[in-house]
């Protein structure tokens, strides 16, 4: 597991935005810009989708990324692949070491299955995305576009016999992942409000978004 | 084998098909020559925005592979289908599908003009052809199932394609728990290391089967699946849309 700190100074960032747990963040990151998600208090999961700003039908593809890099974990050097086989972003700094792209996002519907039918009305990541696509129609996204996402800061190992486990997070307060955009991308983050599993220590917390122009 | 076979057909390698399965029907796939791979996607014909969700399927059953006893979930917390029989033991749901460029790089160009029906079709184009018949397209593609293929994962997360996972006459049977649009192809798995384009056909049996009982193996295999079946029941009552 490789980690690498960034040389970029937060003081030089052109954008700094705190996203509270249970909120979404959507914006365009331009080709050549560097984009950081900072885990402010530790053990937070940032459920993230990327779309080509030119054509949102081209989007982050978990399966293409997993297959093309030959690994289920995302980390330093991972190229995040689109559904058209293009590199969308590359992870250029990472103080965590491993991120998940298997586990998907919490949804009120899947919470009924995973935990209890009565969890149906608890706030979940998919609800944040639904609000995002409803409130921000200028990005041209709908439920059709909400697909298999990245969970930055989450740790989901696969066992030898084909099991899936949700292990302790490797993140901690102040850890971050940083990536350089290789095309203009729409970034859609649900800062996970999950209260039912330890992915954010039963205590959803804020993350900070930073963007550098060069 | 329970239930009565309504229709049986051989689907050659490198082909595609789609159809709608009603609740309490089953699709049995049999690997004719060994080494088959069947890419598959699922949608709700009454609401095409509801589709197979690989992460929900895997995480709610704490599994990376699909096998007998597993249920395949939609993104709306419902069960499209259950794996009721399986002689293979491991089916892949994370490697996606072959593309035109992958097939060309590994096995040569896709050329109907020269090759006719022996052209080297790829999984993504096959999916798009079938999806377009229902007004669906690239935006509706999701992580698909690859029946018969095994992708193992090391401690470091590295993938390994396991050859010989499925043998001649190996089978998997899926029982549909709600009406489901099935999109499938028999194009090669994108990680298949075969030297030549693997023409691997399957036999498909469409069956009528009894509904899952209260003691059904898939329903009881995990408490999560018990709740998934309740969600389907709510859906069929009209309370779950």
CB atoms within 10 A of CB A151: 25
Structural domain includes residue B122:
yes
Residues of A in contact with B95 (CB under 8 A): 63, 66-67
Q: Which residue of A has its CA nearest to B137?
A: A57
Contact check, Cβ <8 Å, A104/B59? yes
**3-class SS of residue B85:** strand
Q: What is the pLDDT of residue B241?
A: 53
Q: What is the pLDDT of residue A200?
A: 80
Question: How many domains does chain A divide into?
Answer: 1
Give the pLDDT mean for A200-212.
93
The DSSP call for residue B158 is B
Structural domain includes residue B60:
yes
Q: Does A150 touch chain B (CB under 8 A)?
A: no
A213 burial type by CB count under 10 A (0-12 exposed, 13-18 middle, 19+ buried): exposed
Structural domain includes residue B28:
yes
Interface probe with A: pick from B157, B161, B192, most Cβ of A within 10 Å: B157
Q: What is the pLDDT of residue A169?
A: 81
Size of interface A-B (CB pairs under 8 A): 131
Q: What is the share, in percent, of chain B residues with pLDDT greater than 70?
A: 98
Euclidean distance between the first and the last CA atom of chain A, given in angstroms as a whole number: 27
Q: Which residue of B has its CA nearest to A84?
A: B99
**3-class SS of residue A194:** coil
Does residue B195 have a pLDDT over 60?
A: yes
Alpha carbon of B4: minimum distance to chain A alpha carbons (Å): 31
Question: How many domains does chain B divide into?
Answer: 1
CB neighbour burial string for A46-73, b if at least 16 within 10 angstroms, e if fewer: bbbbbbbbeebbbbbbbbbbbbbbebbb
Q: What is the pLDDT of residue B1?
A: 66
How do beta strands A150-152 and B145-147 pair? unpaired
Provide ipTM, 2 decimals: 0.96
The DSSP call for residue A197 is S
Q: What is the pLDDT of residue B47?
A: 96
Q: What is the pLDDT of residue A214?
A: 76
Evaluate whether A188 touches A129 at the Cβ level (below 8 Å).
yes
Nearest Cα to Cα of residue A163 among B191, B221, B174, B153? B153
Chain segment A25-67, per-residue pLDDT in tens: 999 999 999 999 999 999 999 999 999 999 999 999 999 999 9
Alpha carbon of A202: minimum distance to chain B alpha carbons (Å): 18
Instruction: Calculate the alpha carbon distances from B108 to A83, B185, B191 in Å.
Output: 21, 19, 15
Residues of A in contact with B44 (CB under 8 A): none
Range of the domain at A85: 20-212
- The residues in B 137-156 lying below 8 A from A, measured between CB atoms, are 137-144, 152-153, 155-156
Does residue A114 have a pLDDT over 80?
A: yes
DSSP letters, A111-149, are: HHHHT-GGGTTS--HHHHHHHHHHH-GGG---GGG--S-
Half-sphere exposure for B87 (CA within 13 Å, toward CB): 12
Three-class secondary structure assignment of B49-84: EEEECHHHHHHHCCECCECCCCEEEECCCCEEEEEE
Evaluate whether A63 touches B39 at the Cβ level (below 8 Å).
no
Q: Does B25 touch chain A (CB under 8 A)?
A: no
Residue A39, strand partner residues? A175, A207
Contact check, Cβ <8 Å, A63/B144? yes
Nearest Cα to Cα of residue A167 among B222, B155, B223, B225? B155
Q: Does B128 touch chain A (CB under 8 A)?
A: no
Contact check, Cβ <8 Å, A166/B142? no
Q: CB under 8 Å to B174, separation ≥6 — which residues?
A: B26, B27, B28, B72, B81, B82, B83, B84
Residues of B in contact with A117 (CB under 8 A): 227, 230-231
CB neighbour burial string for B20-47, b if at least 16 within 10 angstroms, e if fewer: ebebbbbbbbbbbeebbbbbbbbbbeee
Residues of B in contact with A157 (CB under 8 A): 155, 157
Of B97, B153, B227, the CB nearest to A72: B153
Q: What is the pLDDT of residue A22?
A: 97
Q: What is the pLDDT of residue A168?
A: 82
Nearest Cα to Cα of residue A38 among A188, A201, A191? A191
Structural domain includes residue B241:
no
Alpha carbon of A143: minimum distance to chain B alpha carbons (Å): 7
Contact check, Cβ <8 Å, B95/A67? yes
How do beta strands B38-44 and B145-147 pair? antiparallel
Contact check, Cβ <8 Å, B153/A107? no
Q: What is the pLDDT of residue A157?
A: 93
Structural domain includes residue A183:
yes
Structural domain includes residue A77:
yes
Of A113, A144, A163, the CB nearest to B224: A113
pTM over 0.90: yes
Chain segment A135-178, per-residue pLDDT in tens: 999 999 999 999 999 999 999 999 999 999 888 888 999 999 99
The DSSP call for residue B213 is -
Range of the domain at B153: 4-236
* Mean pLDDT, chain A, whole residue set: 96
Interface probe with A: pick from B43, B44, B55, most Cβ of A within 10 Å: B55
Structural domain includes residue A34:
yes
Q: What is the pLDDT of residue B240?
A: 60
- The residues in B 92-121 lying below 8 A from A, measured between CB atoms, are 94-97, 99, 101
Nearest Cα to Cα of residue B93 among B166, B38, B172? B38
Of A67, A102, A126, the CB nearest to B96: A67
Structural domain includes residue A6:
no
Contact check, Cβ <8 Å, B49/A144? yes
DSSP letters, A37-99, are: EEESSSS--EEEEEEESS-TTSBB-HHHHHHHHTBSEE-TT-EEEBTTS-EEEEEEEESS--E
The DSSP call for residue B177 is S
Contact check, Cβ <8 Å, A114/B90? no
Of A58, A114, A158, the CB nearest to B64: A158
Does residue B3 have a pLDDT over 80?
A: yes
Contact check, Cβ <8 Å, A164/B63? yes
């Amino acid at each position: 597991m490789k980690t690498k700190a960034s040389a970029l100074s937060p003081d030089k960032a052109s954008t700094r935005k705190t996203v509270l747990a249970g909120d979404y963040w959507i914006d365009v990151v331009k080709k050549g810009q560097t984009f950081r998600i900072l885990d402010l208090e530790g053990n937070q999961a940032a459920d993230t989708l990327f779309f080509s700003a030119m054509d949102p039908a081209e989007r982050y593809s978990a399966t293409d990324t997993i297959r093309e890099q030959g690994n289920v974990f995302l980390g330093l050097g991972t190229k995040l692949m689109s559904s058209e086989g293009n590199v969308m972003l590359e992870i250029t700094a990472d103080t965590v070491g491993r991120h998940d792209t298997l586990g998907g996002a919490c949804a009120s519907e899947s919470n009924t299955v995973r935990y209890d039918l009565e969890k149906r009305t608890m706030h979940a990541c998919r609800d944040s995305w639904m609000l995002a696509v409803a409130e921000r129609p200028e990005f041209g996204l709908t439920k059709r576009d909400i697909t298999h996402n990245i969970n930055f800061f989450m740790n989901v190992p696969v066992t030898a016999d084909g099991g899936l486990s949700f292990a302790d997070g490797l993140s901690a307060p102040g850890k971050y992942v940083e990536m350089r955009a290789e095309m203009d991308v729409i970034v859609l983050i649900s800062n996970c409000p999950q209260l039912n599993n330890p992915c954010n220590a039963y205590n959803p917390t804020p993350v900070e978004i930073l963007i550098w122009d060069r | 084998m329970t239930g009565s076979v309504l229709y049986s057909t051989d689907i050659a390698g490198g082909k595609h098909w789609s159809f709608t399965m009603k609740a309490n029907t089953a699709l049995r796939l049999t690997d004719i020559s060994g080494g088959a791979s069947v890419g598959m996607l699922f949608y709700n014909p009454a609401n095409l925005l509801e589709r197979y969700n690989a992460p929900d399927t895997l995480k709610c059953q704490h599994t990376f592979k699909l096998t007998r006893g597993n249920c395949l979930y939609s993104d709306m917390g419902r069960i499209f289908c259950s794996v009721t029989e399986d002689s293979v033991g491991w089916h892949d749901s994370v490697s996606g599908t072959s593309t035109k460029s992958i097939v060309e790089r590994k096995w040569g160009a896709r050329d109907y003009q020269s090759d006719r029906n022996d052209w080297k079709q790829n999984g993504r184009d096959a999916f798009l052809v079938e999806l377009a018949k229902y007004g669906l397209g690239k935006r509706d593609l999701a992580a698909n199932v690859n029946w018969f293929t095994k992708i193992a994962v090391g401690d470091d997360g590295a993938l390994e394609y396991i050859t010989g996972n499925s043998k001649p006459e190996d089978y998997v049977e899926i029982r549909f728990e709600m009406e489901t649009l099935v999109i499938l192809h028999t194009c090669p798995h994108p990680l298949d290391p075969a030297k030549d384009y693997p023409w691997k056909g399957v036999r498909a049996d469409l069956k009528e089967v009894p509904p899952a009982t209260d003691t059904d193996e898939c329903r009881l295999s995990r408490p999560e699946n018990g709740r998934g079946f309740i969600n389907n029941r709510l859906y069929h009552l009209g309370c779950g849309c």
